[in-house]
Amino acid sequence: MGPAVDRIETDNHPPAETGIVVIGGGIIGTSTALALTQRGVAVTLCEKGHIAGEQSSRNWGWVRKNGRDEREIPLIIESLRIWQGLNQTVGAETGFRVCGVVSIARTDADRARHEAWAEKSRLYQIGSRVVEGAELEALLPGATQKFRSALYNPTDGRAEPQMAAPAIAAAARREGASVVIGCAVRGLDMVGGRVAGVITEKGRIKCDGVVLAGGAWSRLFCGAYGVTLPQLKVLSSVVRTAPIEGLPDSSTNTGEFAFRKRLDGGYNIAGGGNHTVPIVPDTFRFFVKFLPALRAEWGQLHLSLNDRFMTEARTPKRWAMDEPSPFEATRVLDPTPDTARSERAVARVKALFPAAADMRIVQHWAGLIDVTPDAVPVISTVEEIPGLVIATGFSGHGFGIGPGAGRLAADHAVGGEPVVDPAPFRFSRFSDGTKIRVEAGF
């Protein structure tokens, strides 16, 4: 079972007409809805389950510039600007705090990569730098092991995934947006070759445009319209601990495990450096496109053949608009966590920090991350479907850049000046001959 998510007041039924329909109530969808309402645009957000029910409440809760793909840096700069004032903007607690982020170098090769990234990032003046010696020890008080160096950014932060998207959705609703949960969008209503509305399980909504922020479901939705979105899923398992004192305040990734302090004094901990990739039919369909990522991350990937193969093989790829869709059959993706890996991560934390000896696990959970071949999101209009904007494929980086990504999606939806250069996030990069480039993150 996933973590408990803050519940908010929502609308029972969608309106018959609106300006923009946002599909998906995660951090991207809610941020898009808020950005649109702030511009005076009529918005209806439809969520098939509940707000932040899937990966938006199951991620680590990091809000970092440190070690990102360079293509995402302008977007995370904008996002952090929004995060800094978000509690005040939404009138609620999102859990955002500046804490710093530390990425440990275990080898000379790690340090060389950190130094190269820090040098490249100076163009953006974001403050990441390599630290060592006493400065690094001060960031990891009580550690029984000394590390050679780390990539550190003191202005990076953290927030609470179970609080943030609900708080943003509630604020959008106060600004005039309709927020309807338990309302799956079955498909698009096309008139004259462009989007004129959507068909939901609760009826048709006439609209001027649609933003698809469906996370792991976006590939299936697009495929029903002959639009091939290359996207796979990666399983991420997390453990939550009871409150404990004496551990570092900075969010830290050692390579073997990662942790960050929670607002309640506990910690989120995850195994680092090894990602479980369920083998599904799309694994074979997109093998060539994902081959560069497979080569770059081979030592970090664990391929798994499990029940997801048959689940996805049996999922209908087309459905009638007047009958229940696959989105209604599974309201919330709730995969089984890899508890053994998470418990190994907790054991490593205890071995490194004696203060964690009495650390108690409160909950395990897992989520399915929507991943693209280059691990960079799609935030883009779609040439084949005028009126549709896709905001998906955030590849495990979506929570931190969510507010900025929502603003860029809103820019696309209303034809506004984009907040950052949208070219790196264009959907057409997967079909226009652009070489797929994968940057290793830290």
| Residue of 152, 128, 126, 158 whose CA lies nearest to 140 | 152
The pLDDT of residue 186: 98
Largest CA distance in the chain: 67
Residues with Cβ within 8 Å of residue 45, at least 6 apart in sequence:
21, 22, 24, 25, 29, 30, 33, 169, 172, 177, 178, 179, 180
pLDDT over 80 at 352, yes or no: yes
Q: How confident is the model at residue 52 (pLDDT cuts 50, 70, 90)?
A: very high
pLDDT over 90 at 53, yes or no: yes
Question: Mean pLDDT over all residues of the chain?
Answer: 95
pLDDT over 90 at 47, yes or no: yes
Q: How confident is the model at residue 299 (pLDDT cuts 50, 70, 90)?
A: low
Q: Does an H or E element contain 407, and which?
A: helix 398-414
Residues with Cβ within 8 Å of residue 382, at least 6 apart in sequence:
222, 227, 388, 389, 390, 427
User: Which spans in 61-160 are helix H?
Assistant: 73-84, 86-90, 108-121, 133-139
> Is there a contact between 241 and 80 (Cβ–Cβ < 8 Å)?
no
Q: How many CA atoms lie within 13 A of 18 on its CB side?
A: 29
Angstrom distance (rounded) from CA 436 to CA 87: 37
> Is there a contact between 380 and 422 (Cβ–Cβ < 8 Å)?
yes
Q: Which residue has the tokens 């190269």?
A: 116
**Structure confidence by residue, pLDDT tens digits, 300-316:** 778 888 899 999 999 99
Segments of 192-329 assigned E as strands: 194-200, 203-206, 209-212, 232-241, 251-253, 257-261, 267-271, 275-278, 301-304
Q: Which residue has the tokens 């091939």?
A: 228
Burial class (CB in 10 A: 0-12, 13-18, 19+), 65: buried
The pLDDT of residue 440: 67
The pLDDT of residue 302: 82
| Residue of 331, 281, 275 whose CA lies nearest to 308 | 281
Residue 146: other Cβ atoms inside 10 A: 10
The pLDDT of residue 301: 75
Q: How confident is the model at residue 143 (pLDDT cuts 50, 70, 90)?
A: very high
Angstrom distance (rounded) from CA 218 to CA 223: 8
| Residue of 252, 266, 216, 243 whose CA lies nearest to 396 | 216
pLDDT over 80 at 192, yes or no: yes
Burial class (CB in 10 A: 0-12, 13-18, 19+), 4: exposed
Q: Whole-model pTM?
A: 0.96
The pLDDT of residue 413: 98
Angstrom distance (rounded) from CA 69 to CA 72: 6
Mean pLDDT over residues 168-174, rounded?
Answer: 98
CATH number of 20-430: 3.50.50.60
Mean pLDDT over residues 266-289, rounded?
Answer: 90
Provide, rounded to the nearest whole percent, the portion of the chain with pLDDT above 90: 93
> Is there a contact between 249 and 99 (Cβ–Cβ < 8 Å)?
yes
| Residue of 224, 186, 181 whose CA lies nearest to 204 | 186
Q: How many CA atoms lie within 13 A of 353 on its CB side?
A: 22
Residues with Cβ within 8 Å of residue 135, at least 6 apart in sequence:
none
Angstrom distance (rounded) from CA 328 to CA 314: 15
pLDDT over 90 at 293, yes or no: no
The pLDDT of residue 441: 67
Q: What is the dihedral of CA 178, 183, 184, 190, to 10 degrees?
A: -50
Q: Is 83 helix (H, G, I), strand (E, B) or coil?
A: helix
pLDDT over 90 at 85, yes or no: yes
Burial class (CB in 10 A: 0-12, 13-18, 19+), 330: middle
Burial class (CB in 10 A: 0-12, 13-18, 19+), 74: middle
**Structure confidence by residue, pLDDT tens digits, 315-331:** 999 999 999 999 999 99
Ramachandran bin of 50, using left for φ above 0, alpha for ψ from -120 to 50, beta for the remaining angles? beta
Query: 222 vs 99, 389, 435, CA distance in Å?
Result: 38, 11, 23
Provide, rounded to the nearest whole percent, the portion of the chain with pLDDT above 70: 99
The pLDDT of residue 1: 82
The pLDDT of residue 354: 96
Return the domain boundaries, the chain. 20-430
DSSP labels for 159-212?
--HHHHHHHHHHHHHHTT-EEEES--EEEEEEETTEEEEEEETTEEEE-SEEEE
Structural tokens at position 206: 């006439």
294 versus 144: the higher-pLDDT residue is 144
